């Protein structure tokens, strides 16, 4: 699809809630296109090495053991700590655009979908956000001759929440989630890495650490509500106590008894975002996808469907990556928690 420059209007006519660097310069007008694609916040930051205070904090988190089980987070520190690294874009990038898309209560509410974390209800958001940013990427390449772009939605080793803060999208909350002004934490992120795009107006990485949780005040709702007390006092998460880790990432083995007694979802956990007072009503940017999948099943039926039928139901959703056997395992845990009337 060719994007005509007349489709791009000034940022003042857009509806983005936050973000810096798109008001003028080479990317002026892109904000409105992002808003029409469903983004609620977007900004750009100059590509380059991340400040030492960010990288040291990340390494300290890894060394603490709080990321145990997520070994991939300890690899590829070259591009993770330097957004101009050739491992992200050949010949290096000049800037990175970060955009936030709201998921609200998700795009599906029927069948088994209420037992899925809201950000995953419907078509896999990675696919949805990638498609939307691909159109923005094409527009950038048309506006800036000779530029090159790469769309990233969890497909490159980026510290994307740090990127989002640097791009002016919001602040990090006590839960470790990004808090977007007038929206809250119910957003998913995607990035466009750009080369040969002038960085005029793009944000600079902050050289020193700012106040922790500036928008949280004394609120500890997420910390107190976390089922297994995964949220640490410094705003990091111990994944070994996080239900999202156990229901999405954990190996194909039986869940620990503590998790079995606590888990109420087939995929993910919504508790820390649901209790956040910063949440605001917002239309979802997710897409529902075709009927006849999880919307047509109950927990009881899930036990009886064949692997082939379940694979078809999961196709194109975020649960597909978790896989059939782990979804069935998670379903056994959920069945222990719910009254028979909800099965």
| Token pair 């390494």 in the structure block, residue | 59
Task: Output the CA angle 146-147-148, nearest 5 degrees.
Answer: 125
- Check: pTM over 0.75? Answer yes or no: yes
Task: Output the CA angle 76-78-81, nearest 5 degrees.
Answer: 105
C-beta of residue 186 within 8 angstroms of C-beta of residue 125: no
Nearest to 240 by CA among 193, 249, 113, 306: 249
Q: Please tell me the predicted confidence (pLDDT) of residue 114.
A: 95
Reading the block at residue 24, the tokens are: 């003028």
- Name the β-bridge partners of 267: 116
Q: How far apart are CA 35 and CA 64, in angstroms?
A: 39
Q: What digits encode the pLDDT tens for the residues 30-78?
A: 999 999 999 999 999 999 999 999 999 999 999 999 999 899 999 999 9
Q: How many H-runs (helices) and E-runs (strands) does the chain carry?
A: 13, 6
Burial class (CB in 10 A: 0-12, 13-18, 19+), 126: middle
Q: How many CB atoms lie within 10 A of CB 288?
A: 16
Q: Please tell me the predicted confidence (pLDDT) of residue 28.
A: 83
Q: How far apart are CA 16 and CA 128, in angstroms?
A: 19
Q: Please tell me the predicted confidence (pLDDT) of residue 15.
A: 65
- Pairing relation of β-strands 41-46 and 95-102? antiparallel
Q: How far apart are CA 92 and CA 49, in angstroms?
A: 12
Q: Please tell me the predicted confidence (pLDDT) of residue 8.
A: 38
C-beta of residue 117 within 8 angstroms of C-beta of residue 266: no
Nearest to 132 by CA among 190, 206, 185: 190
C-beta of residue 299 within 8 angstroms of C-beta of residue 112: yes
SS3 for 220? coil
Nearest to 126 by CA among 146, 108, 152, 104: 152
Q: How far apart are CA 185 and CA 133, in angstroms?
A: 20
Q: Please tell me the predicted confidence (pLDDT) of residue 50.
A: 96
Q: What digits encode the pLDDT tens for the residues 270-321?
A: 999 999 999 999 899 999 998 889 999 999 999 899 999 999 999 999 999 9
Residues of the chain predicted below pLDDT 50 = 1-3, 5-14, 340-341
How is 226-286 classified by DSSP, letter by letter?
-TT--B-TTS-B-GGG-HHIIIIIS-SSPPPHHHHTT---SB---HHHHT-TT--------
E strands in the chain? 41-46, 95-102, 148-152, 171-172, 178-179, 187-195
Q: How far apart are CA 89 and CA 198, in angstroms?
A: 16
């Amino acid at each position: 699809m060719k994007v005509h420059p007349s489709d791009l209007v000034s940022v003042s006519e857009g509806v983005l809630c936050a973000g810096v660097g798109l008001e003028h310069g080479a990317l002026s007008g892109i904000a409105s296109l992002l808003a029409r694609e469903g983004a609620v916040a977007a900004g750009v930051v100059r590509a380059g090495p991340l400040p030492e205070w960010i990288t040291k904090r990340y390494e300290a988190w890894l060394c603490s053991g709080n990321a145990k089980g997520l070994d991939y987070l300890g690899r590829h520190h070259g591009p993770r700590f330097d957004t101009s690294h050739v491992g992200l874009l050949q010949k290096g990038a000049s800037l990175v655009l970060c955009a936030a898309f709201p998921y609200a209560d998700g795009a599906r509410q029927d069948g088994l979908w209420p037992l899925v974390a809201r950000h995953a209800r419907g078509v896999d958001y990675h696919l949805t956000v990638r498609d939307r940013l691909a159109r923005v990427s094409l527009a950038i390449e048309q506006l800036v001759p000779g530029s090159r772009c790469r769309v990233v939605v969890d497909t490159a080793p980026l510290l994307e929440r740090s990127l989002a803060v640097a791009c002016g999208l919001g602040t990090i909350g006590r839960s470790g989630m990004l808090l977007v002004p007038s929206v809250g934490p119910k957003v998913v992120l995607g990035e466009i890495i750009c080369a040969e795009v002038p960085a005029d107006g793009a944000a600079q990485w902050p050289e020193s650490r700012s106040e922790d949780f500036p928008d949280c005040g004394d609120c500890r709702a997420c910390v107190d509500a976390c089922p297994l007390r995964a949220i640490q006092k410094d705003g990091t998460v111990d994944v070994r106590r996080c239900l999202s880790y156990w229901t999405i990432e954990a190996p194909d083995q039986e869940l620990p008894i503590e998790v079995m007694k606590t888990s109420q979802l087939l995929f993910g956990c919504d508790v820390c975002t649901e209790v956040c007072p910063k949440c605001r009503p917002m239309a979802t940017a997710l897409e529902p996808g075709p009927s006849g999948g999880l919307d047509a099943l109950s927990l009881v039926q899930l036990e009886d469907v064949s692997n082939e039928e379940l694979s078809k139901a999961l196709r194109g959703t975020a649960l597909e990556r978790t896989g059939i056997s782990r979804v069935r395992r998670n379903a056994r845990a959920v069945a222990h928690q719910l009254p028979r009337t909800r099965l």
